[in-house]
Amino acid sequence: MERVKKYIEIVVHYFKSLNWKDPMVFILSVLLIFLTLGSLIGSVLSTIHTKNELKKPLILLDATYGGEQKGFEGIVNEADVAEKTVNALEKKLLASGYRVQRTHPAGTFATLEEKIKFIQKNHPALVISIRAAHSKDPKKSGIRFYANPKQEATTSIVSALKQSFSNGHEGVWAGYLFYKQGEKNTQIPTYVDLGGKKENLETWSIMNDSDKRIIVVEQFYISNQNDVKTWHSDKGYEEIANRYVSAIQQVIQK
């Protein structure tokens, strides 16, 4: 409003200085008013739009691998699964009224340190880190959602995701991952169901030093033929995105 007031003062001062007996002066003055006023209105509307956009919840999407970093190699590779999931989910979230950013551009790789710095800087309502599961047992299948033990709000998010993906599909799990110290400095993964005892141990690296709303998802088993057949297609990734958005809308209001 201060900007508009200043503009009016300038216009009034300008009019007082004009020679109104000259028709050309009058025409040019009217034209100048319309051009300037149009620019001002556009600027005000743009500012209002920007403020409204910033009010929308921000969701950060993280494709765990990318670029030359391919992750696990199965029937398909992990980086491809992560990228295609993020692509479909980004499109669907934007269409549903959320703000969306990626931790790194498509087709590239970012270090853990770079991702954490980006997350801390942007204060997202939710971070979804996408990867794929892999097993030496080709029969092992399903989808796994991991909550952040340091952020209670992620429990309701992964619970909603589990419910969304369980409709018509088996092997959907949600809970926590902890690493226990084994022999010869090895780390033994321990899986705890939602509602189970949380332990003060290391978890996913992206969660270890953060209290942000971060969830990690193993989207499906790239070592399982049926999982790949079900999900690794344009239709499959579109269904994945729809199920994510359905769950997110229950817990993160626009």
Mean pLDDT for the stretch of residues 94-116: 95
Residue 40 pLDDT exceeds 90: no
Kindly state the percentage of the chain with pLDDT values over 90: 68
For 190-209, the pLDDT digits (tens) are 999 998 888 888 999 999 97
Maximum separation of any 2 CA atoms in the chain, in Å: 97
- In angstroms, the CA 76 to CA 132 distance is 10
Residue 175 pLDDT exceeds 50: yes
- Rounded to two decimals, the pTM is 0.79
Q: Which residue has the tokens 């369980």?
A: 166
- In angstroms, the CA 173 to CA 166 distance is 9
User: Three-class SS of residue 113?
Assistant: helix
- In angstroms, the CA 152 to CA 250 distance is 16
Pure H helices in the chain? 2-16, 23-55, 78-95, 112-122, 153-166, 205-208, 225-231, 234-251
- Give CA separation, 55 vs 60, 91, 99, 158, in Å: 15, 19, 9, 24
Mean pLDDT for the stretch of residues 8-16: 61
Looking at residue 201, what is its pLDDT?
87
- pLDDT band for position 46 (cuts 50, 70, 90): very low
- pLDDT band for position 23 (cuts 50, 70, 90): low
Higher local confidence (pLDDT), 23 or 251: 251
DSSP character string of 230-242: HHSSHHHHHHHHH
Which amino acid, residue 113?
A: E
